[in-house]
Amino acid sequence: MAIEAPLKTSPQARSAVERLVLEIRAMIDSEVLRVGDALPTERELCERFSTSRNTVREAMRMLKAYGVVDVRPKVGATIIDNRMARALDLFSFNTIEVSRKTFADIQGFRTLIEVNSVDAMFDKVTDDHLETLNAANSAMGSAETIAAASEADFNFHVGLVSILDNAALIEIYRIMKPVIIRIMEKGKSRQDFRTSTVEQHNSVVEALQMRDRISYQYSLQYHLNIGFNTFG
């Protein structure tokens, strides 16, 4: 029985794999393949794209890592959709300390969404939204640990973003959740979250309810910036 040579790792080999990944993605789109559909066999892919078995196998590994396909022995490749889960893994920040620069970047992004979308929020906010925000704030005030308080704090801000009724923004916040939670936990380790953070949230909700643009933007911007000095 012939033994295949190890996969090449040269730039040329990597380029061939990357090209094949793009070609397979184009094939999925052009043939309107859906979640649960099977891809052609390894041999069929080799013939279709005039490439080697090693290149096909490496391309399948990449697509599997991206959460696009599931590859099983004797079954082959099946289309799945775990791309969001993969993105969450990549953005987990589990081993990275949140730096001052990371804090500034994340809070700057949140300012663009939460503070600068004030007019759209005023147009869309309902009593149900306000109730959700107050419930999250209440949960934070009664939390017994920093972790529980940070989870409630995150839910408060997702509640704000939810007012915009934009599913893509909610997904982005879900992806960013691990690093946002770390920022919140670090901030709460330096201040009494049961008073200061709850009061800041109350000011935001009150301004939102009153449609007071200046108070809303000032209160929320102050709240987002207050932890900056905790990051050295």
The fold adopted by the segment(s) 97-230 is Four Helix Bundle (Hemerythrin (Met), subunit A) (1.20.120)
Q: pLDDT per residue over 200-216, tens digit each?
A: 999 999 999 999 999 99
pLDDT for position 136: 96
Backbone conformation region of residue 211, classed left if phi is above 0, alpha if psi is from -120 to 50, else beta: left
Among 12-16, 75-79, 157-161, 193-197, which stretch is predicted with the lowest mean pLDDT? 12-16
* Per-residue pLDDT at 7 exceeds 50: no
The reply to whether CATH 1.10.3660.10 applies to domain 11-86 is: no
Q: pLDDT per residue over 120-164, tens digit each?
A: 999 999 999 999 999 999 999 899 888 899 999 999 999 999 999
Mean pLDDT of the chain: 83
Q: Do the domains at 11-86 and 97-230 have one common CATH topology?
A: no
